[in-house]
């Protein structure tokens, strides 16, 4: 009886290690961990069956020790490359991910080339005061080829014969407010100009330096480039184009030894997202420039709700950018960086549902997760009211006919 009790507790310990390890791995990387998940669940089932057959306590103890040893190897921190002598070029460092990344990489010893839109902005001043002399601040609008070329010349001059280790494509913009039909063509062009064409030009410009070092390209993209987020059509379309370009580049640069990674972050407070005046300005601009017919069909209350939902969603976003910054560092220093990184809470679950659940379920999940709209367009409301009146009239007419029939029968 004592041997059986010992086997039972060893069995529980082994099961805890297996199941705990499985959940840890799965929650950490979700979609990419599916093969590991299957393998660990298979091993768990095997151990469970062996223990169910009342294996001797010595054998159970041996399996438990082997499991712990394998788990310690599996859970050990991955090796990282040395930072010394490595230079990184980062776009969009005025604020948000780019600003925080520039500071982190400078702190751990990288030579950083950080671009900002405005060299006199608060973000630029903060980088100057808080970073070491290794950081070079460059004023660059990535949509202006001459400025990108000047940044290349400055970078080459600073590096000398040394190549560039990595390019972090972070600069981006979301000039969007409202449904796809309500978004102006200038919104679509503005997003494409920065998020796609600007990033494309920077990447092509710096590729020779990256090939020289067999370096890295790390691009901050967005889940909206792959999933149909409501009211983000212009932004999502530009990110979709960017994702395809980067993925194609990954195949083409493999023979050159350049590794390419894409980071897909969840919602964070960056840029103008938490600025109430920004959302109000966007709302007023839309009302003033929308065609009268569209404004009539959608209604001001529908557009107002959209603005409020965007604003509230931005307020609830996380201010802690460290999950994304940590992921960027991992992509830069891992001997074998992943092709895709899911950075931030909930993003792995969202992609798991998107990848493995029916479209109807993933669409509903996305709509509830992002914008929970209640107000429907004014034209649809009128149509529903007319249908309701028509149905009521039909019910009254049907009831009247039934009463007449009863009267005739009497």
More reliable by pLDDT, 339 or 49? 339
Across the chain, which distance is largest between two alpha carbons, in Å? 107
pLDDT of 266 > 60? The answer is: yes
pLDDT, tens only, 118-129 = 999 999 999 999
DSSP string, 194-239: IIIIIHHHHHHHHHHHHHHHT-EEEEE--GGGTS--TT-HHHHHHH
Question: pLDDT tens digit string along 356-380?
Answer: 888 888 888 887 777 778 888 988 8
pLDDT tens per residue across span 100-110: 999 999 999 99
Q: In the structure, what pLDDT confidence band is assigned to residue 353 with cuts at 50, 70 and 90?
A: confident
Across the range 14-31, mean pLDDT stands at 53
Per the prediction, the chain carries an average pLDDT of 82
Q: How confident is the model at residue 60 (pLDDT cuts 50, 70, 90)?
A: low
- Reduce the DSSP state of residue 310 to 3 states and report it: helix
Tokens representing residue 335 in the block: 């001997």
Q: Is 323 exposed, middle or buried (0-12, 13-18, 19+ CB in 10 A)?
A: middle
Of the candidates 263, 259, 308, the residue with the CA atom closest to the CA atom of residue 282: 308
Split at pLDDT 50, 70, 90, the class of 29 is very low
Classify the phi-psi angles of 351: left when phi > 0, otherwise alpha if psi is within -120 to 50, otherwise beta. alpha
Q: What is the pLDDT of residue 381?
A: 86
Ranked by mean pLDDT, the top range of 33-47, 83-97, 356-370 is 83-97
Q: Which of 188, 235, 302, 341 is catalytic?
A: 235
Decide if pLDDT at 269 tops 60: yes
Mean pLDDT of 267-274: 73
pLDDT of residue 31: 44
Of 153-157, 177-181, 271-275, 343-347, the range with the lowest mean pLDDT is: 271-275
pLDDT the model gives residue 107? 95
How far apart (Å, rounded) are the C-alpha atoms in residues 114 and 87? 11
Q: Please compute the mean of the pLDDT values over residues 306-313 and round it to a whole number.
A: 83
Q: For the ranges 87-91, 169-173, 182-186, 392-396, which has the lowest average pLDDT?
A: 392-396
In the structure, what pLDDT confidence band is assigned to residue 76 with cuts at 50, 70 and 90? low
11 part of the active site = no
pLDDT of residue 357: 84
- The answer for residues whose C-beta is within 8 angstroms of residue 355's C-beta and 6 or more apart is 31
Q: What is the pLDDT of residue 65?
A: 61
Of all residues in the chain, the percent with pLDDT exceeding 90 is: 47
Query: Which pLDDT band, with edges at 50, 70 and 90, does 30 fall under?
Result: very low
Confidence (pLDDT) at 408: 54
Residues 360, 364: Cα–Cα separation, whole Å:
6
**Mean pLDDT calculated for residue range 277-301:** 88
Once rounded to an integer, what is the mean pLDDT over residues 15-19? 59
- pLDDT for position 130: 93
Q: How would residue 208 be classed by pLDDT, with cut points 50, 70 and 90?
A: very high
Q: What per-residue confidence (pLDDT) applies to 257?
A: 95
């Amino acid at each position: 009886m004592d041997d059986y009790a010992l086997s039972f507790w060893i069995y529980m310990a082994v099961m805890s290690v297996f199941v705990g390890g499985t959940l840890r791995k799965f929650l950490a990387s979700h979609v990419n961990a599916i093969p590991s998940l299957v393998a660990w669940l298979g091993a768990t089932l095997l151990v469970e069956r062996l223990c169910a057959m009342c294996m001797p306590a010595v054998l159970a103890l041996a399996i438990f020790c082997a499991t712990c040893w394998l788990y310690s190897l599996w859970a050990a921190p991955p090796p990282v490359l040395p930072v010394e002598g490595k230079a990184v070029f980062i776009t969009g460092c005025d604020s948000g991910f780019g600003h925080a990344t520039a500071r982190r990489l400078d702190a751990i010893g990288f030579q950083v080339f950080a671009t900002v839109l405005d060299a006199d902005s608060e973000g630029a001043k903060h980088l100057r005061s808080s970073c070491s002399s290794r950081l070079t601040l460059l004023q660059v609008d990535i949509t202006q080829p001459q400025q990108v070329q000047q940044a290349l010349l400055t970078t080459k001059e600073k590096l000398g014969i040394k190549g560039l280790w990595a390019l972090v494509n972070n600069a981006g913009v979301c000039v969007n407010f409202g449904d796809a039909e309500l978004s102006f063509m200038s919104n679509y062009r503005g997003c494409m100009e920065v998020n796609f064409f600007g990033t494309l030009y920077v990447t092509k410009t710096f590729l020779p330096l990256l090939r020289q070092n067999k370096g890295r390209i790390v691009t901050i993209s967005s889940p909206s480039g792959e999933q149909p987020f409501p009211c983000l059509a212009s932004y999502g379309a530009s990110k979709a184009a960017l994702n395809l370009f980067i993925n194609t580049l990954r195949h083409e640069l493999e023979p050159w030894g350049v590794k390419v990674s894409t980071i897909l972050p969840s919602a964070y407070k960056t840029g103008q997202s938490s600025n109430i005046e920004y959302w109000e300005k966007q709302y007023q601009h839309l009302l003033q420039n929308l065609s009268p017919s569209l404004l009539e069909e959608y209604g001001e209350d529908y557009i107002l709700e959209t603005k409020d939902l965007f604003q509230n969603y931005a307020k609830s976003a996380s201010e802690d950018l460290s999950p994304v910054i940590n992921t960027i560092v991992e992509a830069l220093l891992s001997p074998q960086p992943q092709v895709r990184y899911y950075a931030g809470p909930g993003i792995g679950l969202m992609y798991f549902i998107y990848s493995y659940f029916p479209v109807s379920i993933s669409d509903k999940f996305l709509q509830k997760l992002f914008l929970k709209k209640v107000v429907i367009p004014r034209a649809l409301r009128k149509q529903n009211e007319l249908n309701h009146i028509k149905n009521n009239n039909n019910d009254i007419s049907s009831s009247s006919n039934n009463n007449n029939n009863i009267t005739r029968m009497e």
